[in-house]
Amino acid sequence: MTHLTDQELEVARLIIDAVYLEDLKVEEIDPEAPLFGTGWGLDSIDALEIALAISRKYGFQLRSDDVEIVHIFASLRALTEHIQKNRTD
Amino acid sequence: MLETAATIPLLDPSSALEPIAHRRQGAVSRQAFLAHVGRTAERLPDSLYTINLCEDRYLFLVGFAAALLRGQTNLLPPVHLDGEIRRIAAGYPGAYCLVDRPHEILPLPQCRLDTFDLNPFLATDSVPNIGADHIAAIAFTSGSTGQARPHPKRWRSLVMGARLAQRRFGFSRGLSIVATVPPQHMYGLETSVLLPLATSVSVCGKRPFFPEDVRRALASVPVPRALITTPVHLKACIKADLCWPKTRLIISATAPLSPTLAAAAEQALDCPVQEIYGCTESGSIASRRTLEGDLWRLYDGLALYEKDISYCVSGGHLAEAVALNDSLMPDGPVWFKLLGRQDDLINIAGKRGSLANLDHKLNEIEGVEDGVFFLPEDDAKITRLSALVVAPHLEKRMILAALAERIDPVFMPRPLYQINSLPRTPSGKLPRHAVRELLARLRSTLANAD
């Protein structure tokens, strides 16, 4: 299991709060696991909640016509990197 | 006229001067669209059935119309999981998929629309006619046995339904529609595919998802603009706190919209919020402005009548009466109140399912001895199903993985609790209150453990 960075931990907590993953333990998180489908099991409604939480905390809006969007939600690690590049807070 | 015509034109004859769509490249005239449809129709495989999976709404529209031109029927699977597509296609030999990107593990032949050169050399004014009785589309609902039930839609009925919506909402000439709903579902098909074909409105070729996408899509099309969406998307848009472009109308459907959310949306976008009521079987049949109260008004020409313990709707675009799954209370001939869904039916983010069907899928997993889905009533956040499962030899992740292959992601239980036994009565029934109490206990135990 790869260790989470502080930033990844912060984003993981944001996701857990946003989409109510009450039985996911932070220490069990694999930062490389896919967020959708087999990994975290998230879906498109969760993506809306996560996007909202991100815009509130980090001050920027996600867009699906961003050519990178598939990669952005590929894993916790990818999402965290995207947030660090785009945050305006 | 429409009721008896043998053929009905693919496009509304009085709207030749209005664009039909707006793409990144600009507005698409109806003449260019007809050329795109004609060229696409020539290249479709020979088959009676097509499953249109295009995500680009304009390419969906072109593929849908081209299939009609070729006398083909558009199948609309409720879920785009490979297994579900395979199951539905099994009943329609020769079915192929229309796609706008390569799909890796799709179980059917694929016809790629995105690789067609759509540049028309010859825009055309000649509007083809489609057989009014041709089954233009077949929508599906999930029955309680796990078998999808087909609901055929004739071209006449679809066009008449679009005209009824036009009459109800009075869409002005040149109205641009931006839709967040997929064209593959009845509500999305009616509003973002049939309205542009059968009336003078045009549609944005995109399918915006995040609030910022919706804002940009609205800003990219000419006024007047209408936003066709769902409570889930509307809520996300309102909470995003963006500065919205001038919009004439919002329409929401698929799940009840709360008056609070409707009021917030009316304020943020400075326009009325209307709701449509309907179901896969009947299509749209009524509307209301959420803030004006809880009475729904039937579309013109439709009527309700009581049969056994439920209500049927007939008239208008419907060739036959359709039984409604909701319990409702008529108030005179054209108004009614919606009292709620019948017990077994659930609606999560616009996806309709049957709890019995989900239980069936859960219990068919090898190693699951007993299990039940439950819809908690006290959730402040977006509603999610919970599941209680007895499966002593399976790990939770194995159960979840097996479920993910069988059911739509929105129905995935969150959380799923593994327990020793379900609180069944001696006769085998599972009282709701017993499940509710067990769930509450499990939740508080979990909270204390944290």
* Structural domain boundaries in chain A: 6-86
Above pLDDT 90, what percent of chain B? 58
pLDDT in tens, A13-68: 999 888 877 667 788 888 998 888 767 778 777 888 899 999 999 999 999 876 67
Mean pLDDT of B145-153: 83
B7-341 has CATH 3.40.50.12780 classification: yes
Residues of B near A (Cβ–Cβ under 8 Å) read 206, 208-213, 216, 232-233, 236, 239-240, 242, 349, 381-382, 384, 400-401, 404, 409-410, 412, 414-415, 443, 446
pLDDT in tens, B180-221: 999 999 999 999 999 999 999 999 999 899 999 999 999 999
Chain A residue closest in CA terms to B413: A41
Q: At residue B163, does pLDDT exceed 90?
A: yes
Question: Is the CB of A2 inside 8 Å of chain B's CB atoms?
Answer: no
A4: helix, coil or strand? coil
Question: Residue B141 in contact with residue B352, Cβ under 8 Å?
Answer: yes
pLDDT at A17: 85
**A64-to-A48, B93, B269, B336 alpha-carbon distances in Å:** 11, 35, 22, 39
CA distance B387 to B375: 9
Q: How many Cα neighbours within 13 Å face the side chain of B247?
A: 28
Q: At residue B228, does pLDDT exceed 90?
A: yes
Q: At residue B430, does pLDDT exceed 80?
A: no
H or E segment at A77? Answer: helix A76-86
Give the gap in angstroms from C-alpha B187 to the nearest C-alpha of chain A: 18
The mean of the pLDDT values for chain B is 89
pLDDT at B3: 76
pLDDT at B379: 47
Q: Cβ separation of A52 and B239 shorter than 8 Å?
A: yes
pLDDT in tens, B271-297: 999 999 999 999 999 999 999 998 999
Q: At residue B41, does pLDDT exceed 90?
A: yes
pLDDT in tens, B71-125: 999 999 877 777 788 888 999 999 999 999 888 878 899 999 988 887 766 778 8
pLDDT at B429: 67
Choose which CATH entry (3.40.462.10, 3.90.1150.10, 3.30.70.141, 3.30.300.30) describes domain B345-449.
3.30.300.30
pLDDT at B10: 98
Residue B237 burial by Cβ neighbours in a 10 Å radius (0-12, 13-18, 19+): buried
Best of B81, B210, B399, B443 to disrupt the A interface by mutation (most A CBs within 10 Å)?
B210
Above pLDDT 70, what percent of chain B? 93
> What CATH number was assigned to the domain covering residues A6-86?
1.10.1200.10
Domain boundaries, chain B: 7-341, 345-449
